[in-house]
């Protein structure tokens, strides 16, 4: 399973790269705004900066919601760096644009997916990734992981090559369950990846080993 970091924060991206477990990055307009990145030139520069740090796919989201606008923005983004994946919302013109990008060999991430039907459309349009939002479904009392499971099964039934990128992954159990289900990728904050390190028996065991070593090597 690939680990993507869901952030536009350069320091966090560097930290994950240094840990040696990062396969890519996803961003969205809210995450870019959180970092104070504004204006077209700064936004494009920020994406380029992320691509220079990460050896893997970097999702950059279009703002346009009409077909020609999505194509225009997507082509500018794709030209920035070979690692760029054009992130396109699951809307009618978005599906059309994904087909266009796919035919041109431009990688896409179909975002804001909340149903199996939407995921089926994304795969048929040739999306590279489909992003079901686990946490946001849980937020409204639905079952986000069940959707991931459904998509994995449907794609398996027909051999679709679109990768299931579980998004809006908020905590360690989400990530582990995505791995059990067979999601191809999870994208989450750095805290979730670092959370995988934790077990009290590891801490206790290490303390004992170090204390026993110190007793005879003082
Ligand atoms: C997906 O690519 C989105 O950027 C993201 O995972 C949304 O997560 P959130 O629901 O925690 O904002």
Taking a C-beta distance cutoff of 8 angstroms, is the pair 22, 12 a contact? no
- The rounded distance, in Å, linking the Cα atoms of 177 and 79 is 36
The 10s digit of each residue's pLDDT in 43-99 is: 999 999 999 999 999 999 999 999 999 999 999 999 999 999 999 999 999 999 999
The distance in angstroms from the start CA to the end CA of the chain is 44
Which domains are seen in the chain, by residue range? 2-216 (3.20.20.70)
Ligand 1 pocket test, pick from 24, 28, 183 with the greatest ligand atom count within 8 Å of Cβ, gives 28
Distance 62 CA to ligand 1 centre (A): 15
Q: pTM for the complete prediction? A: 0.96
Q: What's the pLDDT score for residue 125? A: 98
Per-residue confidence band for 187, with pLDDT thresholds at 50, 70 and 90: very high
The 10s digit of each residue's pLDDT in 14-26 is: 999 999 999 999 9
For ligand 1, which residues put their CB under 6 angstroms from it? 6, 26, 28, 111, 131, 133, 135-136, 167-168, 170, 187
Q: What's the pLDDT score for residue 75? A: 98
Angle at 185 between CA 161 and CA 53, to 5 degrees: 110
Which residue in 106, 7, 109, 107 sits closest to 53, CA to CA? 7
Question: What average pLDDT does this structure show over 123-139?
Answer: 98
- The rounded distance, in Å, linking the Cα atoms of 9 and 25 is 10
Say which residue the tokens 């920020």 belong to: 46
Question: What average pLDDT does this structure show over 169-195?
Answer: 98
Check pLDDT > 90 for residue 218. Answer: no
Instruction: Indicate if the alpha-carbon torsion angle 114, 115, 121, 124 is positive or negative.
Output: positive
Closest CA to ligand 1's atom 1: 167
Angle at 129 between CA 83 and CA 10, to 5 degrees: 45
Taking a C-beta distance cutoff of 8 angstroms, is the pair 6, 30 a contact? no
Instruction: Indicate if the alpha-carbon torsion angle 207, 213, 215, 218 is positive or negative.
Output: negative
Angle at 171 between CA 169 and CA 175, to 5 degrees: 60
């Amino acid at each position: 399973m690939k680990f993507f970091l869901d952030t536009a924060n350069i320091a966090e991206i560097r930290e994950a790269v240094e840990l040696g477990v990062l396969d890519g990055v996803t961003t969205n307009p809210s995450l870019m705004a959180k970092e104070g990145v504004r204006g077209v030139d700064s936004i494009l520069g920020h994406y380029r900066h992320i691509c220079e740090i990460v050896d893997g796919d970097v999702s950059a989201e279009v703002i346009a919601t009409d077909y020609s606008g999505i194509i225009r923005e997507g082509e500018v983004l794709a030209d920035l760096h070979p690692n760029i994946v054009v992130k396109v919302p699951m809307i009618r013109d978005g599906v059309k644009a994904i087909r266009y990008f796919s035919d041109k060999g431009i990688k896409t991430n179909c975002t804001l997916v909340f149903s199996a039907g939407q995921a089926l459309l994304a795969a048929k349009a040739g999306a590279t990734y489909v992003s079901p939002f686990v946490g946001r479904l849980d937020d409204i009392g639905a079952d986000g992981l069940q959707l991931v499971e459904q998509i994995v099964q449907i794609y398996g039934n027909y051999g679709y090559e679109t990768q299931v990128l579980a998004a809006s992954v908020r905590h360690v159990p989400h990530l582990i369950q995505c791995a059990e289900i067979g999601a191809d990728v999870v994208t989450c904050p750095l805290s979730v990846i670092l959370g995988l390190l934790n077990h009290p028996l590891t801490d206790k065991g290490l303390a004992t080993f170090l204390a026993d070593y110190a007793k005879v090597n003082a």
